[in-house]
Amino acid sequence: MAFFQDVPQATPDAIFELSRQCRADPDPNTMDLGIGAYRDEHGKPYLLQVVSKVEQELAAAKLEKEYLPIDGLASFREESVKLLLGPDSKAIAEKRVASCQGLSGTGCLRVAAEFYKTFLGTSTPVYLSDPTWGNHKPIFSIIGFTDVRQYRYFDAQTKGVDFEGMCADLKAAPDGSIIMIQLCAHNPTGADPSKEQWAELSHLLKAKRHVVMVDSAYQGYATGDVDGDAYAARLFEANGLEFAASQSYAKNMGLYGERVGCLSFVCATPEIASNISSQLKVIVRPMYSNPTKHGARIAHRILSDPTLRAEWVAELAQMSNRIKTMRTMLVEALKAKGTPGDWSHICKQIGMFSYTGLTAEQCERLVGQHHIYLLKSGRISCAGLSANRIPYLANAIHDVVTNPSAL
């Protein structure tokens, strides 16, 4: 009997499998609206100019390739935490922040989950928004968390946040539950709470003594405003909330393949922060030993140099504005065709994704008949749109909406 002959074939990841199918499709009209990656007007991957400039500087410097410390590049971690909490953060000034460089957002969340497993236990309830990013649940369940739940988040009628339902579920959750909160540009819905709602949530989370995990994948990329996009995290700190945060630089710097991220814990005292820092190293060492260096150097240079940072912020604004323009053009195209329904929510939602409201059957027909690849949930990546392809997309959506019986 051969070793492992009973190992079954795993189900492919939905998003990456969708992208693979799109690449294999010979039809000239294919559109990949599933993968969460920014594309230029020609549908090509975009290398930020400021990233290209820094890479040339680093290449010219011929820097060594030694290992980083277990917790990563200290100067990068310092700048990353400042980006999240702001340069005037009391927690930073009082040395109440523990940080660890991680392998982009997923890696940081996994390290945080391992930390919670060790010090809270796998029976602790974990609450994720309904819906949420597809990788959130596996990050916890694969390491043994047995009670992963959902809190209401999206209102299918308004195509916005079901704030009343969200608050009701978080109030009903057992005290000390782990609560995953997305900082901005909620994935997959593109719907975020208002400032007033964030304030109410902050007090609720603190009163319930929930263990808050903030997932920051789109700071600056969501609206083009790096400070505005960090509003919730800075409000949480100002209100005395202790929380963890995962920052990814895949989207906002285009460093997808460099796997650059930062995990931080905003703590009550410097002593707690120091203790957590030491434990994060214990988790990382047998997991991947230490993080990647090149991407962290790029991110540090951009965040720490005023001129480079200004160039980065300007590019972020251009990228964000292009996505907003694509949203507007799509809605206008659907209106011009007289497509049934109110599509204004596409413009109200922010960031990379839009929850279109299309049904699973309509999405399947978009893939099968029109070669437009999107998830069955109706989520599309607006960053994958271009002006010259919007008419084709609008025509296809109009077809599947107005001809429900077509096969």
Catalytic positions, please? 133, 215, 251
Residue with tokens 């460093």: 255
Q: Are strands 353-355 and 379-381 parallel, antiparallel or unpaired?
A: antiparallel
- The answer for residues whose C-beta is within 8 angstroms of residue 330's C-beta and 6 or more apart is 343, 346, 382, 385, 390, 393, 394
d(CA 249, CA 226): 12
d(CA 86, CA 90): 9
Torsional sign, CA 357, 359, 362, 368:
positive
* E strand map for 279-323: none
| 165 membership: H or E segment, kind and range | helix 163-172
d(CA 234, CA 241): 10
* E strand map for 249-312: 260-266
d(CA 135, CA 124): 19
- Name the residue type at position 85: L
Are 241 and 91 within 8 A, CB to CB? no
- The answer for residues whose C-beta is within 8 angstroms of residue 404's C-beta and 6 or more apart is 361, 362
Radius of gyration of the CA atoms of the chain, in A:
22
- The answer for residues whose C-beta is within 8 angstroms of residue 341's C-beta and 6 or more apart is 357, 401
- The answer for residues whose C-beta is within 8 angstroms of residue 98's C-beta and 6 or more apart is 264, 265, 267, 272, 273, 274, 276, 277, 280
Peptide bond before residue 131 is cis, with ω within 30 degrees of 0: yes
- Name the residue type at position 400: V
| 140 membership: H or E segment, kind and range | helix 136-141
